Amino acid sequence: MSYKHLTLSERGKLEGFLTLKKGIREIALLMGRHPSTIIREIRRNSFNESYQADKAQTISSQRVVSASTRTKLSQELLEIIEDKLTKTWSPEQISNTVLKGLVSFKSIYRWIYEGKINSNNLGLLRHKGRKRKGVEKRGIFVHGVSISERPEQANNRSEFGHWELDSMVSSRGESKGVFSTFIERKSRLYTAFVGKDRTANTMELAIRRLYEALPKGALKSVTSDRGKEFACHTTIKDTLKIDFFFANAYAPWQRGSNENGNGLLREFYPKQTDLAKVTQQELRQKLELINNRPRKCLNWKTPVEVFLHEVLHLA
């Protein structure tokens, strides 16, 4: 049987078992691997006579890259790339994280187009250029605190806990089902809740669900457009004691993070999807894929990593 390299998750388990002083055969049994695979992994990817999962992953990736040439795609490198493509990572995200920039994203694209890499998820990759959005026809209102009064630390993303929110719907007339979507501006963590309709009651329920799920201090303000589903703003502000700001009418760029997040989610749920038939569990699985992709704007960290770091440092 040919050797198949360990995944980062398996390397984390191996590090834990070694810390617990478990023997090679016991570790192999627990991990469903051959003992020789475990021995080889420890011998090849230890650092300073110590096995650490993150360093082992780096050592392995660098070895794979060093062994590859422009015309040769090794089996080990293929497995790394296909694993991340399955998780809907882009070639640029793969290149700048697990491969440490030693293989260019252009090379990965070339291997995909040459048919050397499984490209089942290629259709989910973002494409440059904007689709022209339809003219907004739902009702709007003019009350509420303007985005111009939002504090600078929220505007420049220096402070954690400021969120943007929106509604995502099915094609007009197809379904009343809705996703209430939220994104934290500093970490870019994106989340959403399935709702029955695009009303203020449904949006209020979603905001309260978010509030209850977050630790104290992680929800300081929200910013939305002026759709009628946000008519709950006064109740939210008075009962939850968080600030509620409104972008200017027909100015989606003032909520650019949420617009981008919605675009990522649309890759899984195109306009023709009946959102009423999507379960919260199914939606959560897609959100996990989105939030575990490394982002260039986050120095190639993932939104989950940045979010958890900020939560741990809440005052």
| Helix 53-67 and helix 8-19, axial crossing angle in degrees, nearest 10 | 140
Q: What is the C-alpha radius of gyration for the chain, rounded to an integer number of angstroms?
A: 23
3-state secondary structure of 282: helix
Note the CATH architecture for domain 145-312. Answer: 2-Layer Sandwich (3.30)
Q: What does the alpha-carbon distance between residue 125 and residue 89 come to, in Å, rounded to a whole number? A: 8
pTM for this structure?
Answer: 0.71
Tokens describing residue 264 = 């990522």
179 and 277 Cβ atoms separated by less than 8 Å? no
Residue of 264, 263, 308, 306 lying closest to 286 (CA atoms): 264
pLDDT value of position 71: 43
pLDDT digits (tens, 9 = 90+) for 83-97: 889 888 989 999 888
Tokens describing residue 228 = 């009628």
Residue of 287, 288, 306, 286 lying closest to 296 (CA atoms): 306
Low-confidence ranges of the chain (pLDDT < 70): 1-4, 64-72, 119-142, 172-174, 315
pLDDT digits (tens, 9 = 90+) for 256-300: 898 999 999 999 999 889 999 999 999 999 999 999 999 999 999
204 and 235 Cβ atoms separated by less than 8 Å? yes
pLDDT value of position 174: 67
3-state secondary structure of 243: strand
pLDDT value of position 105: 87
Q: What does the alpha-carbon distance between residue 22 and residue 214 come to, in Å, rounded to a whole number? A: 38
Give buried/exposed letters for 123-137 (b at 16+ CB in 10 A, else e). eebeeeeeeeeeeee
